[in-house]
């Protein structure tokens, strides 16, 4: 299996070297790591939602994925401390174009429901929430979990929290890269 992965990676590098291809790689699961004592007492969350469509008034969340991390007063990520992922079976079948886009099928979400209490507990100590498309994600988050209305980073109104989203997000990417992880979305 290991040899097969090396062969596949070699093929991907050769294709990329032609300049005609861009190969996406899976995001490898990371084990949570503790922040060194005194290095990171602030908590942030990276969040991503997959939904049945683009309308937050009628479409539903089918997957939530979050990474909790500690960061320092200088906005340097010092450790990933938790991962939350859950599927949710919507009230209607997932549209074909959403299945093609996300790779999430009706079979994958069948019988699943997001545990609201576990999700709310996971984000409770966050000082900042970062999302790739916060304007989109925020609307779905607020409809499902009102606590997101007051979370810095996803808040409707600018919040003065002393956190700099612009400096924390690149720090997290650098931290993940230094741990040997790709930052590309995981496909099923």
Per-residue CA distances from 134 to 29, 151, 156 (Å):
23, 11, 10
pTM to 2 decimal places: 0.66
CATH architecture of 32-178: 2-Layer Sandwich (3.30)
Cα–Cα nearest to 50, from 118, 100, 111, 122: 100
Q: Which residue has the tokens 């990474």?
A: 67
Taking only the tens of pLDDT, the chain with its 188 residues reads 567 788 888 998 999 999 998 887 765 555 666 656 666 678 888 889 999 999 999 999 999 999 898 888 877 788 888 889 999 999 999 999 999 999 999 999 999 999 999 998 999 888 888 887 878 888 888 888 777 776 655 544 333 344 444 445 554 544 444 444 333 333 33
The tally of CA atoms less than 13 A away on the side-chain side of residue 79 is 15
DSSP letter assigned to residue 150: G
């Amino acid at each position: 299996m290991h040899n097969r992965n090396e062969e596949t990676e070699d093929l991907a590098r050769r294709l990329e070297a032609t300049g005609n291809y861009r190969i996406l790689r899976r995001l490898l699961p990371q084990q949570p790591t503790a922040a060194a004592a005194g290095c990171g007492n602030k908590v942030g969350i990276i969040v991503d939602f997959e939904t049945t469509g683009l309308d937050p008034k009628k479409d539903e969340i089918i997957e939530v994925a979050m990474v909790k991390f500690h960061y320092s007063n200088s906005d340097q990520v010092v450790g990933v401390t938790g991962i939350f992922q859950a599927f949710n079976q919507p009230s209607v079948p997932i549209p074909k174009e959403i299945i093609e886009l996300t790779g999430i099928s009706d079979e994958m979400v069948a019988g699943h429901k997001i545990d609201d209490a576990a999700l709310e507990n996971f984000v409770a100590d966050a000082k900042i929430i970062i999302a790739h498309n916060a304007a989109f994600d925020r609307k779905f988050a607020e409809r499902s979990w009102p606590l997101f209305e007051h979370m810095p980073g996803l808040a409707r109104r600018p919040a003065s929290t002393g956190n700099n989203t612009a400096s924390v997000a690149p720090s997290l990417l650098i931290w993940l890269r230094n741990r040997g992880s790709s930052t590309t979305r995981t496909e099923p």
